[in-house]
Every structure is written in C-alpha cells, then in structure tokens.
C-alpha cells in the first residue's frame, strides 16, 4: 500500500500577541503586560531612556559600569546579601546599555514574581555603588578592553565605528568606554549619573508570562510604583550620527603573521521608522548574508572555500542604523574576497529574483510564530518596540508588509541602501596585501597598527 505525501498548506494568519493591559503608573512608568498561559517563568523587561550622549566625555563608559553595579549592593542589602536573595528565589537579573537605553531583564518563577519586583525596585532606586565593587568591576572592564584588543572581530568593530562616524559623535567610540575614560570613573561619577539619568519618567516595563489570577497592580504598588528620581533624564537623541568626511575608505589594521583576515564592510543605514516601511531590510540582509545559502556564502564559502561564513544585515539604532557585512577569510584570499564582496554588494549588480525573494519572505515571515512563542521573546520584542518609540502592533504590520514584498521593491530599496563606496576595515597581516588592496580601487587605503 502506497502512502500519499500530505499536502503542505500555506500558513494561517498570525499576529504578535496583543497586550493584556497597558497603563502608566503615577510616577510615569508605563507598564505593558502579556498574559501567556503555560509560561510559568515570568519575564520582566525594563527600558529606561538613556542615550549615551548623556555621558560626560571624560568618563565615557559610566552608563555601562553603572548598569553592572545596580545589583551589587543597595541601602538594604550588601552585594552578597542581594546575590543570595536572587539565588534563593530563582531570579535571573541582568542589566546593560545600548546607544539609547538602560535595559534591565529579570526572569523569575511565577510564585516569586512579587519578590523579584521588590528587588528590581530596590536595585533601581536604592543602589549604593560600594567602593570595593566599583573598583572590582572597573578593573574587570579594563581587562576586558585588553582582551578585545586581542580579538580580531572586536578590533575590527572598534576600528569600523571610529572610521565610519564623525569623531565628534558618541557612536564613533565604544559603548562601554575606552581604557582612559573607564579608568577615570569614580564612585561619585556613578552616583551622580544614576541620580540624574535613571528614573521612572518615560521608562517602560514589560511583564510577560502566565499572569492569569495574579494581582500585578498590587505587586507594583508595593514596589516599582514607589520608585522615584530627583533627576531630569536626558531626552532621546533625535538625530542620526553624522558620517566622517572620509568614511568611504579602507583601513587595514596590521596584525603581522595572521592566518585569517577579519573583514568588516558597511555604511550607515535606517532605523525602524524608515519611510516606506522596515519590512524590506531584514529580507535584504537574509538574502545577501543571512544564511549559508545566501549570496555571499554561496560564493565565498561554498564555491571558493575562503571562509566559514560571512554575515550581512541592517542593524537599527534608536535613530539611524548600520548596514554591515562581516566575517573572517583566509589570509591568502583577503584581496580576492574583498573584490568579490564589493562586486556582490554593488547596487548596480544586485537584482533579487522572484525565487530569492520568496525564500526570504518564507523565512522572515514564516518563522515569526516560532520566534515569538515564549514569554522572554515576547517581552524582548515588546520592550524593543517601546525603546524605539514604535507602536505595539509594529511587528504584526511589518510581517504583513513582508508577505507583500516584491523583487522590484527590494531592488529599489537596496539601491538607496548601498553606497557607491564602502567603509572597509580589515584586521590581518596588512603588509602582505596592502598594495594589492590599493590596486582594487575600492577606496583610499590606510594602514594602522593593531
């Protein structure tokens, strides 16, 4: 008896989950909840507007260091006591910063949600920044900077932003600060920055999980509703970073003897408020360098064997963004890889086909229900939307727009995305190929020491 293969039906309608509630507390904190039955580990995500441009120039990195110290001692608990409470109640606490915000994430079993909110409010409003913890984490950050110098991908990323953006822009310097500025940070800097910049006004809290039957309002009343700040937080940046006047050039970071070359090639890109809609950009990134069968890897990995993989994509900031292509290649294939990359990414040569576009749409739109099936993924997406000042139905609308994309539309968008010449950074044995890279004619070449 022969069995018939079942027909594969098109996926049914899908929408990003609607918020169960959306309200603002008297202290200015917006609270958005998602009741997700069966998700008994609750995710709490907090976004506090905190542009890095608010940092004093001489102590850049103070925002990142401050975020790491939030759970290292409060007015009520020492660092050891606070850590013990997190462990006792099964609470995972993490905090960090990006170009626009302070981000704090908490995961906790449902039964301990009230305790987690109490400890979160304590960390935000009562952090004391003990001198010994400041010294420890400052030393750790300085050691991390040294490690990053030894890492080709980190070195390439640091050189890329320094080359692409105008040197007066905060975006041209590391998010977590450089050695000189981190070394200058004191406890007083941290206390002042925290007091001035971290508060509930304009901040957003997302709570996702099995919240049915939970009196979240009561839990918030005794915790985050009491969070206050005397400072006046800096308004989010309204302008994208400016490009350096000489951004369209090639910088070779010389690392003699390297058997691989780390290549980063890119330009400024849009944010998710872009006119015409965000939908084309994830698909373009996927088709060019988002998977092993994408255009770049099809040539450099599968056909040539020059790389284990190179990725390409558009990274949105709160305002503006980056279009990046990066990865490592064999040192002896550096010049040929650069030539192929610039040809593959040449806007005059890129014309997406119907089959390509369909595969990109199927992946980006088709995997959305799976990507947003858990409480942490939903909270992460919702907090990202709030951070960027987007409506909570943005994900649903963008997916619907993705399903309607055409090759003509993608080709037209890519023509506006790609520049005539790129900002290129290569970390490797520059002396072995500097002259040949110059001969490619892809931009003026500068060699700098590692």
Q: Please give the chain's pLDDT, 450 residues, in tens.
A: 678 888 877 777 899 999 999 999 999 999 999 999 999 999 999 999 999 999 999 999 999 999 999 999 999 999 999 999 999 999 999 999 999 999 999 999 999 999 999 999 999 999 999 999 999 999 999 999 999 999 999 999 999 999 999 999 999 999 999 999 999 999 999 999 999 999 999 999 999 999 999 999 999 999 999 999 877 788 888 999 999 999 999 999 999 999 999 999 999 999 999 999 999 999 999 999 998 889 999 999 999 999 999 999 999 999 999 999 999 999 999 999 999 999 999 999 899 999 999 999 999 999 999 999 999 999 999 999 999 999 999 999 999 999 999 999 999 999 999 999 999 999 999 999 999 999 999 999 999 998
Q: Is residue 5 part of a domain?
A: no
Is the same domain home to 274 and 349? yes
Q: Do 176 and 63 fall within a single domain?
A: yes
Beta bridge partners of residue 328, listed in sequence order = 262
Q: Is residue 239 part of a domain?
A: no
One domain for residues 205 and 286? no
pLDDT of residue 168: 97
Q: Is residue 222 part of a domain?
A: yes
Residues 327 and 206 in one domain: no
Is 67 among the domain residues?
yes
294, 347: one domain: yes
Q: In terms of domains, do 176 and 281 share one?
A: no
What is the pLDDT, as a whole number, of residue 1? 65
CA angle 72, 78, 84 (to 5 degrees): 80
For the whole prediction, is pTM greater than 0.85? yes
State the CATH number of the domain containing residue 267.
3.30.830.10
Whole-number pLDDT of residue 213: 92
Cα–Cα distance measured from residue 342 to residue 175, given in angstroms and rounded to the nearest whole number: 28
Exposure pattern of 401-425 as b/e (b: 16+ CB <10 Å)? bbeebeeebbbebbeebbbebbbbb
**Cross-strand bridge partners of residue 243:** 165
Range of the domain at 52: 21-226
C-alpha count within 13 angstroms, C-beta hemisphere, residue 441: 2
| 13: in domain | no
- 195 and 329 in a single domain? The answer is no
Sign of the alpha-carbon torsion through 142, 143, 149, 154 = negative
Q: Which of 205, 207, 209, 206 is nearest to 373 (CA)?
A: 209
Residue 259 and residue 183 in one domain? no
C-alpha torsion 315→417→169→174, nearest 10: 30
Give the residue from 309, 314, 302 showing the smallest Cα distance to 262.
309
Q: Is residue 355 part of a domain?
A: yes
Q: Which residues make Cβ contacts (< 8 Å) with residue 137, sequence separation at least 6?
A: 65, 68, 69, 72
106, 116 contact by CB (below 8 A)? yes
Task: Give the per-residue pLDDT at 408.
Answer: 97
Contact in structure between 265 and 325 (CB atoms under 8 Å): yes
Choose among 126, 108, 128, 124: nearest CA to 116.
Answer: 108
Q: How far apart are CA 281 and CA 288, in angstroms?
A: 11
The answer to whether 437 and 335 are in contact (CB under 8 A) is yes
Number of H helices, E strands in the chain: 17, 12
Number of folded domains in the chain? 2
Same domain, 221 and 255: no
Q: Is the dihedral of CA 373, 281, 246, 447 positive or negative?
A: positive
Residue at token pair 């302070």: 102
Question: Is residue 238 assigned to a domain?
Answer: no
Instruction: Let me know if residue 365 belongs to a domain.
Output: yes
Q: How far apart are CA 346 and CA 325, in angstroms?
A: 13
Same domain for 276 and 156: no
């Amino acid at each position: 008896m022969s069995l018939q293969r079942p027909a594969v039906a098109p996926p049914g309608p899908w929408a990003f989950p609607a918020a169960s509630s959306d309200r603002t507390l008297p202290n200015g904190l917006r609270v958005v909840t998602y009741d997700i039955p069966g998700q008994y580990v609750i995710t709490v995500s907090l976004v506090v507007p905190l542009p890095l441009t608010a940092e004093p120039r001489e102590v850049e990195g103070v925002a990142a260091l401050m975020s790491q110290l939030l759970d290292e001692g409060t007015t009520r608990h020492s660092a050891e006591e606070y850590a013990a409470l997190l462990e006792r109640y099964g609470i995972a606490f993490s905090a960090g910063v990006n170009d626009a915000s302070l981000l704090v994430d908490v995961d906790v079993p449902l039964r301990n949600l009230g305790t987690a909110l109490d400890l979160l409010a304590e960390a935000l409003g009562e952090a004391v920044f003990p001198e010994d913890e400041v010294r420890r984490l400052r030393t750790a950050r300085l050691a991390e900077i040294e490690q990053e110098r030894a890492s080709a991908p980190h070195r390439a990323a640091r050189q890329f932003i320094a080359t692409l953006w105008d040197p007066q822009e905060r975006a041209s310097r590391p998010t977590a600060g450089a050695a000189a500025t981190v070394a200058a940070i004191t406890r007083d800097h941290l206390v002042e920055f925290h007091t001035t910049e971290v508060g509930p006004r304009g901040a957003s809290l997302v709570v996702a999980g099995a919240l049915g039957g939970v009196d979240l309002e009561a839990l918030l009343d005794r915790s985050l509703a009491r969070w206050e700040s005397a400072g006046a937080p800096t308004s989010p940046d309204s302008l994208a970073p400016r490009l350096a006047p000489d951004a369209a050039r090639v910088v070779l970071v010389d690392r003699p003897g390297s058997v691989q070359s780390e290549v980063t090639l890119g330009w400024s890109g849009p944010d998710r408020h872009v006119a015409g809609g965000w939908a084309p950009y994830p698909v373009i990134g996927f088709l060019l360098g988002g998977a092993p069968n994408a255009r770049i890897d099809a040539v450099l990995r599968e056909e040539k064997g020059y790389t284990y993989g190179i990725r390409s994509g558009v990274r949105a900031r709160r305002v503006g963004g980056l279009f990046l292509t990066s990865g490592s290649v064999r040192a002896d294939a550096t010049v040929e890889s650069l030539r192929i990359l610039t040809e593959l990414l040449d806007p005059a040569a890129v014309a997406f086909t119907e089959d390509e576009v369909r595969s990109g749409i199927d992946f980006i739109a088709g995997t959305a229900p799976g990507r947003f099936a858990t409480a942490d993924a939903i909270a992460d997406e919702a907090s990202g939307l709030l951070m960027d000042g987007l409506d909570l139905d943005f994900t649903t609308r963008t997916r619907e727009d993705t399903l309607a994309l055409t090759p003509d539309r993608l080709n037209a968008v890519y023509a506006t995305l790609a520049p005539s010449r790129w900002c290129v950074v290569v970390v490797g044995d520059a002396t072995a190929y500097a002259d040949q890279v110059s001969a490619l004619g892809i931009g003026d070449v500068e060699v700098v020491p590692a």
